[in-house]
Amino acid sequence: MQNGDSCVVITGTHKGKAGTVEDRHVSKGGNVTITVRQSDGSRFKTLERNVETCP
């Protein structure tokens, strides 16, 4: 998954939300987090494993 990819959240707190990947970060513990910007401009952070790219 890269910046600019369209995605949809499949599990977790933000399940069902969709948007564009803005920021991908790997933490010290090895977890990959991403920031997703929705079409209305709002943003949220989630784990990459909870997200699936859109075709």
pLDDT tens digit string along 16-48? 999 999 999 999 999 999 999 999 999 999 999
pTM: 0.84
The answer to the question of residue 1 being in a domain is: no
Is residue 55 scored above 80 in pLDDT?
no
> Is residue 32 domain-resident?
yes
The answer as to whether 30 is a domain residue is yes
**CATH number, position 31:** 2.30.30.30
**Structural domain includes residue 17:** yes
Structural domain harbouring 49: 6-53
Which are the contacts of 21, defined by CB distance < 8 A and separation ≥ 6?
1, 2, 3, 4, 5, 6, 7, 34, 35, 36, 51
Task: For residue 16, tell me if it sits in a domain.
Answer: yes
Looking at the structure of the chain, the number of domains it has is 1
